[in-house]
Amino acid sequence: MINDNVSKMAIAEINGGPLAPEIKGEVLFQEYEKGVMVIANIMGLPNFRPAQQNLPQIGPHGFHIHEFGVCTIGDNQDPFKSAGEHWNPTNQPHGNHVGDFPVLFSNKGLAYMAFFTNKFTIDSIIGKAVIIHSGPDDYKSQPAGNAGKRLACGIITGYDMRYFY
């Protein structure tokens, strides 16, 4: 039976790259009349480490939608550049990019977060990538918030929930 009242949904299966291969999880997107609920369930995140000597801070973790749905590793020391920059279709200064999300906090490697946004629709994000960074986003440095290396990536794919009821 098809239920036409169920909203559109999308998912990004998150996988760590060479800098954090233990990261796994998913980011779910569910569209409602006034916006999209985003739910992240991530495991294997590195724990917080303050900046020390010549080493950057690790965590909380920058979390964004990036321009391209490509999670090719490329350079093992600087992976996932193939996903492009933060998704910014309205050409806003950093901190107001459509793809800017709140940071993820590692709690013994786990992060669970849910938030609601009216900045995009499911149709507009299909085929883009979700990236998790090593450090926090400062929401001001151009173009990408100085969030550090890209640790994990997932491509956003849609599915029609009408067929699940």
Q: Would 101 be classed as within a structural domain?
A: yes
Give me the mean pLDDT over the 121-127 stretch: 96
Question: Which domain, by its residues, includes 119?
Answer: 9-48+56-164
How many Cα atoms sit within 13 Å of 149 on the Cβ side?
A: 18
* pLDDT of res. 162: 52
- Indicate whether 138 belongs to any domain: yes
pTM of the model as a whole: 0.89
In a domain, residue 1? The reply is no
Report the pLDDT value the prediction gives residue 98, as an integer from 0 to 100.
Answer: 87
2 assigned to some structural domain: no
- 140: in domain: yes
The pLDDT value recorded for residue 3 is 45
Tell me, what's the pLDDT at 59? 84
Q: Give the chain's domain count.
A: 1
Tell me, yes or no, whether 3 lies in a domain.
no
Q: Are 12 and 83 within 8 A, CB to CB?
A: no
Question: CATH code at 63?
Answer: 2.60.40.200
Per residue in 58-83, pLDDT tens?
Answer: 889 999 999 999 999 999 999 999 99
